[in-house]
Structure 1
Amino acid sequence: MLAILVGLLAIFAWSSRPHLPLLERLDHLLFDAQTQWRGRLQAAAQPGIVLVKIDDRSLQRLGGFSPDRRTLARAIDLLNTAQARLIALDLLLLEPGRADPAADAVLSSAMRASGKLLIPFALLDEAGQPPTSPGKAVLDNAFLRTRGESASALLPMRPQQLLAPPAGFAEAAQALGHVSALRAPDGAPRFDLPGLPFAGEIYPSLAVRIAAIALDQPWSQVELDFGNALKLGSLTVPLDAQSRQWINYYGPSGSFESISFIDLLDGHVDPARLRGRIVLLGSTAIGAGDVFPSPFDTSLPGVERMATVVDNILSGRVLQRPHWASAAELLAMLVLPMLACWLISRWPLRYALSALAILALGLVTGLQALFVHAQLFLAPAFPVLALLLGCLSALVLRGAAEQARRRAALLALQASEERYALALRGANDGMWDWDLLAEQVFFSDRWYTLMGQDKTQPARMSAWTAALDEAGRQAFEHELAEHLAGRSLQLHHVLSFRQGGVDRWLLVRGIATRDANGRALRMAGSLTDISESQRLQQQITHDALHDRLTGLLNRAAFLQRLEQACAIEAGKSDSVAVLIIDIDDFRTLNEREGIAAGDAILIELAQRLAALQGPSSALARLAADRFVLSQHIADVGDESAIGDLLGRVQSCLQAPFQLAAGALTLSASIGWAHLAQDLHSATELLAAAEMALAHAKTRLRGQTHAYDPAELQVENKRRWLKENLDLAIASQQFVLHYQPLVLLADRRLVGFEALIRWPHPDKGMVMPGDFIPYAEESGQILAMGQWILREAARQLVAWDALGFRGEIAVNLSGRQFSEGDLLADARAVLDILGSIDPRRLKLEVTESMAMSNPQVTANALQALSALGFKISIDDFGTGYSSLAYLHRFPFDTLKIDRSFVIRLAAGREAVEIVRTIVGLAKALGKQTLAEGVEEVAQAQLLHELGVEIGQGWLFAKALAADQAEAFLLQNQPA
C-alpha cells in the first residue's frame, strides 16, 4: 500500500509539471544532463551550414547596434556573388527605414536579385491587436497541406499577434517563416515549433522553410501532420503529441562553421567557403539580446540555435519523445516503488540497496543508450524520484519494524526468563556452576540426588567421575577439556553407570563464558536423567531389527547379516546357502487351534531352528508362518551338506508339538538357493530362495525345491509379458497378418485367416506362440480378442470396397466363451460390417477348446450362428471329440490340423485319418480345410482325398495388410 501511495504521489508531481516550474525544471535538468553525457556532435547536414555572425567586432566597425539596410543589401550581394545555396536572415525587418527611406528600396532590390533569400516574421502569444493583418506574401507561406487538425488543440502556443516585415521586403523574399520560440522557466528553448496557427492558417517556422528549399521540395508537397510528423517528401521529421520538434543540441557556441560579418564586407572571406552552402545571417553580439541557454552553453546565439534546428531536420537527427513514453513513465512510477519496498522488506539491507542501485544505474544507462543511438528520450526524473521515495519509505518502515521487533524481543526475553525459572523447577534437572578463576563449584540438590552422592561433601569437579569406570572417566574428562579449549560449542556428554543394580544414563550439558582471548572463565549447565528414554531407545532399536513374538531377526536385519556373509565369501570356493521354510496350512491351524496355540508353535519352532545355527548362521522370521535360515557351505559341490541341513530342518518340523488338544506334527514347503548359482548379492540370493519356495508350494505339501536359474528366465519373461502386453493393447501395437485360403482344385483365392502379430518397438516382431499362451493365462486375451474381431471386420469392409468377395477367418479364445461377453462383441462387429454379409467373417474354435465345456460352447456357437456368422472347428483330429456334441455344434468347416498334413508322406495312418475326417464332413454336409500345406504333393493328395481348401506356405505365408491387399488384387476370389 505504501508503494502504491508513493507511486501515486510521483504521478501527481509528474502530471503537475506544466503548472509548477520547479518540477518542470527538474525534468529539463535531466534532459540537459543526458545531452551533456552524450557529448558534442558535428553538424552533418548537406549542403553544409555557414553562419555569418554580426558580432561585437562587426558592430564596433559599423558604429551601431545593427547594420543598416544598405549594408545588409551589400552583404546579400556578396553572398550571391559567392554562389551561396540559399540565404536566411535571422533579423526581424519590421518597420520601413526612416533616416534613409531609399535604403529599403536598395535592400528589396538586393533580395529580389538574390532569389534565394528567406526572412522571418514573429508570432506572439501576447493578447492585443496586431499592427497589420497577414499580407499576401505572408499568407502565401502558410502550410498548404495539414492533417490531424484535432491534435492542434494541444499546441503549447496560441499566437495572438503578428509582427511581419513591410510588404516590400516580404514580397522580395523567396520565403518567410516564423522565428517564435517558447522558453522553459530557465529560459532555454528545448524544442522548436514547426507550425503555429494564426488567423485561421498554419504558418511554418523559418527553419522548416529553409529545410524545404534546401531539399528542393515544392512547398505544395510539404505536409504537417499535427501530433505526429512533418513530411518533407521522403524525409519525415518526428513530432511529439504537442506537435513540437525537440532540438538535438550539438555543443556550445561554435559548433557550426562561421565567419564575421565585417570580414565578409571587407572581402576577407574566400568565396569557396560559401559556394553551395546554406548561409544564416544573424546577430551574436553581446548587446543584441538574441541569446538562449542550452545544455552546453548559457548564452547560445539565436542564429546558432536556428542552424541546429535546420541541421537536425536535414540530417535526420531530431530528438523524439515516443508516443508510448508517458505510459512507460507512468508504469515505472508504479512498479519501481513496489519493487523497492518488496526488496527492502524481504532481502538483507545491503543486498536490497545494491540491487536497487544496479537497477537505477541500468535504467539510466538504458535510457541514455536510447538517447544516443535512437534519438529517443524519456523523462527519467520522476521514475527515479519514485524509486528514491519508495526506498526512503521502505527504510523508514523497516526501521520502525526493527524497533517494534526489539521491543517485542525485550518483552519476550523477560517472559522467557520467568518461564525458564519455572521450567527449571518443573524439569527436575540438576544444575551446576563452575568458577574457573576462583576454583569454586556449585551443585544443586537435584544434582546430588541424580548422581547418588552426599551433598555434605565439598563440591569438586572430581565428583563427576566418582561413579564412573576408567573408560567413562577418561571420556568425560576428554569432552570437558575439548570444550574448555574452545574446540566444541557445548559440553554434551552422557554419563553411563550402574546405581543400586540398575543402569543409569545422565546427560551432562554445559557452556563456558570466555574473555577476549578465548580463555574460559566460567562454566554452567544442567544434568538430566535420560535413563528411561535410553531404555526405550534400546527397546526400539531391538524391535526394529527383531521379531517381537519369537525374538528372531526380522527381514531387514537378516538381509544385513546376509550381505556381510556374502561379502566375506565373495571370490572364494565356499558359498552361502539360504533356506526358506513355509509351514503348510498354518492359517487352518490357527483357525482350528486358536491364535495362542499358533503363537506357541511358532515360538517353539523358532527355538528348534535356532538350535541348528552355527557360528556363521543367521535365522529370521520373514512372515507369520515363514522362517529363513542362512548357512555357510564349505564345499559347493558337496550336496550332502545341503541334504544334511534339509534333513535336520525336516526333523525340527516332524518332532511333535505339544498342545492342549494333543500332539501335533507339521509339514513345510522349503525353497533353497546358494550364492554359487550365479547370484551376486544378498537380495538376489533371498529372492532366488523365495522363487524356489514358490515352485515348491505349487506341488504337494512338504516339498523341497532348489533354485534353478532357468526358472528366473521364465519368471522374467512372464513379468515382461505382463508389463508390456497391457501397454501394447493400450497403445495398439498389435497388427493383423492375413494368410490366404485357396481352392485346391484350381488354386483360386477364397479368403484369408487373420493372424495376430506383435511388432514390439524394442524387441522387433514377437510371434503369437511367445505371448498368446500367457495372454490366455492372464486374461489379457479378452481385450486382445475384441480388438482382433473388430480389426478383421474393418479390414473386410475395406477390401469389400475393392471388389473382394471372399471371407476372413478369426480365431476365438476359450476365455472369450467363459469370461467375456462374446455376443456383445459379435454385435459390435455387425455394426462395423454394416451391409456386408456376416457369413464372410468366419469364427474359429479349436476342437479341444470346444470340448472343454461342450454344453456352454454349443450354446454360444448356436447364438453366434443365429447372428449370421460361419463357424469353423480348428485343429480337428487332435482332440477327443464326442460325435454327439459335434453334431450339436453349428459349424461350417472342419479344419484338418497341420500335424496330419505333414505326416501324409510318412505312411497310410495319416492318409486314413484325413480320409475319415473328409468323410465325416461330407456326411454332415460341411466343408474341409487343410492347414500347413507346404508341398505340391501334399496339395495334390489332399485334393484327391476330397479336401476342398488349402492353407499354407505353398500358396503364401501370412502377409501384412498391404501385401495381402496386393495379393487379392492379383487373385480375385472365386
Structure 2
Amino acid sequence: MRRPPPQTLIALLLTAIWGLGLGIVHLRGDIPFIDGAEATLTNLRNTLGGSRKPPDLVTIVAIDDETSRVAGHYPLPRAMLAKIIDAIGALQPKAIALDVLLVDAADEAGDAALEQSLKRTNVVLAAAGIFPESHQQVVVDSKEPLVRVPSALQFLEPQSRFAAVASYGIVNVQTDKTGTPRFVPMLFRNGERIVPSLSLRVFSRATGEQATVISDHVKVGSHSILTDNGYLVPLSFYGPRGTIRTVSASAALNGRLPEEAIRDHIVVVGATVTGGGDVFPTPFDPVLPGVEVISTSITHLLAGDGLVRDQGVRFIDLYFAVGLPLLVVGLLSWRRNTIGLAMVLGVILVWAAINVAAFKHGIWLSAALPIAATAPPALISGATQLWLGRRQAKRFAEQSERLQHIQAPGLAEHLARDPGLLATPVHQEAAIVFIDINGFTSLSEAIGPAAVRELLNGFFNLVDEEVTACGGAINSFMGDGAMILFGLPQPKPDDPAKAADCCVRLAARMRRWLGTLPDDVASRIGFKIGAHFGTIVASRLGGGDRQQITATGDTVNVASRLMEVAASNHVEIALSDDLLLAAGTDSMPFKQGRLEGPIETSLRGRTGSLTVWLWRS
C-alpha cells in the first residue's frame, strides 16, 4: 500500500488538532461563534420533524382575551385569581403552577382571598431571576456541580404571605442567539442560595418526591432528569400555540371547566392575553406564549420525551468533531476526482442522516460543531491540493512541451492517447528520409562550439518546420543530420508523396539557409538527402525508464546509404525507384527541378544493386 505523502499526513494531523480543540471546548459549554448556526440548525430539525401530539399530562388554563374582557382589565384582580385557582382545585389536579408573578401587594381583600386559595390547593408559584445579561451564564470549569448553575443577581420572589403558604420556583428560560427558548434550567443560584425552577418544583409536587442534585443530573424519586451543563433541560416543542391543550380561564369563572382536562393533570395557569408580552419565537410559532413554554418543559419532565443533551452526548459530538473532518480530508486527499467528491458527499449525507435521526429520537447531537470542525480543514486542504495540483499540472505541461521538442512531433500526442503504442513491434510500410550536412565536421573544428551550436539550431529549426508542414515525424536528430518518418503511428496511402514533397522542400529551404550564412562558412558545407520507401519494423527501444520510438530494418539502412549516392553524384537528393513509384512518376514536387535516372548503383554494406533516381534543383 502506497504511503501517504507528507502534506497529507500534516493536513490530517492539523485537522485532528482543530476538531479535538473544538470538541474539548464544546464539552465545557457552547461555543459563541457556533451558537447562532446551531440555533438555526436546531430549528430546522424541529421543523423537519413536524408537529406532534403531546402526552395528555398537562393542561393550560389561559388568562386570555376573553378572561380579560370578563374581568374588565388586565392584570386580573387577585380575588379573581383566587376564584380561578379554587375552581381548578375543586377538580383535583395533581398540581397547579401559577405562572404569574405575585411580587407586589394589591388590595388587602384580594390578597387575603388569594392567600386562602393557596392554602387550600397544591399550588406552585412563579418567581423570576434577574441576570446581568440576557444570556444566563453557566460556569463549567468548576468541579463543584452546584457552582455551574445559572447565577442570578437577584430573585423576584412572591410576597412573603404567599410564599409562606405555597412553594415557588424560578420561571426563567434560557434562549439562544435567535431568541428561541432552548433550555429550562432546573436550578438557579444567587450567592450561596440554590432555588429550583418552576418546572422542577411542579414535577416534585406532582410526584410527591424530593429532588436530589447529583453531579451530572437531577433525580426526583426514581426519575432521573438528564441535564446539560449547568443542569439545563433542552426543550423540544410539540407545535404552535394551542398544541398543548389550552382552556380559557373564563371557563373557571363561569363553572365550565372540563373535568377530564383537569383531574389528575398538572394545570399551568398563565397569560396568553394579547399584549401581555410574555411570548417567544419558536420553530412552529413566532409568538408562542411563555405559559406554553413552561408547560412544554413540565411535560418533558413527566413523560421523559424531551431532548437529551448531557455530557455523554457532548462526548459523541467530540467524536464527530474529530472523525468527520478526518474522514472528509482523508477522502479528498485519497481521491482527488469525481469519485472522491462523491464519497465525501456520501459521508456527509450519512452523518446528516444520523444527526437528524438522533434528533428525531430525542438525542440532540450538535450539527454546527462537526460542520465547523470539517469546513475549514476541508476548504484549506482542498485549496492546497488544488494549488499543488495546478503546480504539478504546470510541471507536467512543461515536461510535455519539452518532450514535444525532443520526441518526434505528433508521436507524443499519440502516446498520451495510447500508452501502449508500439509496445509490441509491428511491420508496416513507411517512407524514410535522411538529411545530412556535408563538411560539417571540419567546419566545427574551425569555428568553435558556440558557432557550431548556433549553426545546428538553425538547421534543426528549418528541418522541424518543413517536416511538420509535410505531416512527417522527426525520429531523431543525429549530430548534423536527421531521420524523418512518414507512416507512424499508422501508415497512410499518401506517405510516399508527402516524403517526396518533404525532400524537395528541405532542399529549397537548405539552399536559402545556406545563402544567409557567411561566405567562409557557406563555402565549406553543403547538404545531401536520401529517401526510400519500404517495410520497416516500428517499435519502442530501451528499458523501462527510458524508451524511444524508432524504425529499423533494411528500408532505413537504404535511405541512409542513399545520402552517399547523392553526395557522390553531386546532387541534392537521391531517392529509390520504390519511393518514386509509390509517390507517382508524375509527382509534382520533382517537377520543380531536374530528375535524372534511373541508374543502377550498389550501396555500401549491401549486396546487389538498387535502382536510384537523382534530383537537382
TM-score (norm 2): 0.64
- Which residue in 1 is equivalent to 2:292? 304
Matched AA of 1:168: R
Q: Does 1:391 align with 2:378?
A: yes
Secondary structure of the residue aligned to 1:379 is: coil
Describe how 1:276-425 pairs up with structure 2 within 5 A. 276-373=264-361, 375-420=362-407, 424-425=476-477
Describe how 1:935-974 pairs up with structure 2 within 5 A. none
Pick one of 111, 119, 123 that aligns with 1:117.
Answer: 123
- Which residue in 1 is equivalent to 2:485? 431
Measure the CA separation in 2 of the matches of 1:394 and 1:438.
52
Structure 1 residue 331: Cα displacement: 3.9
Q: Does 1:223 align with 2:205?
A: no
Describe how 1:456-535 pairs up with structure 2 within 5 A. 456=575, 460=579, 463=582, 500=607
Measure the CA separation in 1 of the matches of 2:530 and 2:231.
92
Q: Percent identity?
A: 23
Q: Does 1:210 align with 2:202?
A: yes
- Which residue in 1 is equivalent to 2:532? 448
Secondary structure of the residue aligned to 1:90 is: strand
Structure 1 residue 298: Cα displacement: 2.0
Query: 1:18 and 1:195, CA in 2 relative to 1: closer, same or farther beyond 3 A?
Result: closer
Pick one of 188, 192, 195 that aligns with 1:196.
Answer: 188
Measure the CA separation in 1 of the matches of 2:291 and 2:129.
17
Secondary structure of the residue aligned to 1:248 is: coil
Q: Any idea what the Cα deviations from partners look like across 1:244-278, whole Å, max 9, x if unmatched?
A: 11222222222211111223323343334322222
Contact preservation (8 Å) 2:19, 2:374: no
Measure the CA separation in 2 of the matches of 1:459 and 1:93.
119
Matched AA of 1:208: L
Pick one of 254, 258, 281 that aligns with 2:242.
Answer: 254
Contact preservation (8 Å) 1:340, 1:390: no
Structure 1 residue 19: Cα displacement: 8.8
Describe how 1:722-871 pairs up with structure 2 within 5 A. none
- Which residue in 2 is equivalent to 1:819? none
Structure 1 residue 305: Cα displacement: 0.9
- Which residue in 2 is equivalent to 1:38? 49
Measure the CA separation in 2 of the matches of 1:13 and 1:406.
36
- Which residue in 1 is equivalent to 2:112? 105
Q: Any idea what the Cα deviations from partners look like across 1:890-924, whole Å, max 9, x if unmatched?
A: xxxxxxxxxxxxxxxxxxxxxxxxxxxxxxxxxxx
- Which residue in 2 is equivalent to 1:170? 163
Measure the CA separation in 2 of the matches of 1:415 and 1:286.
81
- Which residue in 1 is equivalent to 2:421? none
Structure 1 residue 88: Cα displacement: 1.5
Measure the CA separation in 1 of the matches of 2:256 and 2:580.
111
Secondary structure of the residue aligned to 1:40 is: coil
Measure the CA separation in 2 of the matches of 1:195 and 1:366.
32
Structure 1 residue 8: Cα displacement: 4.7
Q: Any idea what the Cα deviations from partners look like across 1:211-230, whole Å, max 9, x if unmatched?
A: 1222232x3xx21114x121
Structure 1 residue 56: Cα displacement: 2.4
Contact preservation (8 Å) 1:238, 1:318: no
Matched AA of 2:118: M
Structure 1 residue 335: Cα displacement: 3.6
Structure 1 residue 370: Cα displacement: 2.3
Structure 1 residue 316: Cα displacement: 1.4
Measure the CA separation in 2 of the matches of 1:50 and 1:244.
23
Secondary structure of the residue aligned to 2:239 is: coil
Contact preservation (8 Å) 2:184, 2:233: yes
Q: Any idea what the Cα deviations from partners look like across 1:28-79, whole Å, max 9, x if unmatched?
A: 222222222222232226xx21101112232233232221111111111211
Measure the CA separation in 2 of the matches of 1:276 and 1:244.
27
Matched AA of 1:223: T
Measure the CA separation in 2 of the matches of 1:20 and 1:202.
26
Matched AA of 1:500: T
Query: 1:62 and 1:428, CA in 2 relative to 1: closer, same or farther beyond 3 A?
Result: same
Measure the CA separation in 2 of the matches of 1:462 and 1:264.
119
Contact preservation (8 Å) 1:25, 1:186: yes
Secondary structure of the residue aligned to 1:425 is: strand
Matched AA of 2:485: M
Query: 1:437 and 1:501, CA in 2 relative to 1: closer, same or farther beyond 3 A?
Result: closer
Measure the CA separation in 2 of the matches of 1:342 and 1:462.
64
Measure the CA separation in 2 of the matches of 1:248 and 1:428.
83
Measure the CA separation in 1 of the matches of 2:193 and 2:222.
24
Q: Any idea what the Cα deviations from partners look like across 1:643-683, whole Å, max 9, x if unmatched?
A: xxxxxxxxxxxxxxxxxxxxxxxxxxxxxxxxxxxxxxxxx
Structure 1 residue 285: Cα displacement: 1.9
Matched AA of 2:212: E
Q: Does 1:264 align with 2:252?
A: yes
Pick one of 102, 127, 148 that aligns with 1:93.
Answer: 102
Measure the CA separation in 1 of the matches of 2:52 and 2:184.
19
Query: 1:349 and 1:233, CA in 2 relative to 1: closer, same or farther beyond 3 A?
Result: same
Q: Any idea what the Cα deviations from partners look like across 1:786-845, whole Å, max 9, x if unmatched?
A: xxxxxxxxxxxxxxxxxxxxxxxxxxxxxxxxxxxxxxxxxxxxxxxxxxxxxxxxxxxx
Q: Any idea what the Cα deviations from partners look like across 1:508-535, whole Å, max 9, x if unmatched?
A: xxxxxxxxxxxxxxxxxxxxxxxxxxxx
Structure 1 residue 282: Cα displacement: 0.1
Measure the CA separation in 2 of the matches of 1:163 and 1:461.
114
Secondary structure of the residue aligned to 2:81 is: helix
Contact preservation (8 Å) 1:4, 1:337: no
Secondary structure of the residue aligned to 2:311 is: coil
Q: Any idea what the Cα deviations from partners look like across 1:464-522, whole Å, max 9, x if unmatched?
A: 9xxxxxxxxxxxxxxxxxxxxxxxxxxxxxxxxx97389xxxxxxxxxxxxxxxxxxxx
Contact preservation (8 Å) 2:328, 2:347: no
Measure the CA separation in 1 of the matches of 2:334 and 2:580.
49
Structure 1 residue 89: Cα displacement: 0.6
Contact preservation (8 Å) 1:120, 1:206: yes
Structure 1 residue 304: Cα displacement: 0.8
Contact preservation (8 Å) 2:332, 2:382: yes
Query: 1:338 and 1:429, CA in 2 relative to 1: closer, same or farther beyond 3 A?
Result: farther
Secondary structure of the residue aligned to 1:236 is: strand
Contact preservation (8 Å) 1:431, 1:446: no
Contact preservation (8 Å) 2:313, 2:363: no
Matched AA of 1:66: P
Secondary structure of the residue aligned to 2:230 is: coil
TM-score (norm 1): 0.42
Describe how 1:43-62 pairs up with structure 2 within 5 A. 43-44=54-55, 48-62=57-71
Measure the CA separation in 2 of the matches of 1:19 and 1:317.
23
- Which residue in 2 is equivalent to 1:812? none
Contact preservation (8 Å) 2:531, 2:575: no
Which protein has greater RCO, CA pairs closer than 8 Å, 6+ apart? 2
Pick one of 142, 147, 151 that aligns with 1:153.
Answer: 147
Contact preservation (8 Å) 1:44, 1:315: yes
Structure 1 residue 311: Cα displacement: 0.8
Structure 1: stretches of 5+ with no match in the other structure: 128-147, 465-497, 503-974
Query: 1:19 and 1:119, CA in 2 relative to 1: closer, same or farther beyond 3 A?
Result: closer
Count of residue pairs the alignment pairs up: 439
Pick one of 29, 33, 39 that aligns with 1:28.
Answer: 39
244-253 or 31-40, which moves further after superposition? 31-40
Structure 1 residue 108: Cα displacement: 0.9
Measure the CA separation in 2 of the matches of 1:21 and 1:389.
17
- Which residue in 2 is equivalent to 1:662? none
Describe how 1:537-686 pairs up with structure 2 within 5 A. none
Query: 1:183 and 1:435, CA in 2 relative to 1: closer, same or farther beyond 3 A?
Result: same
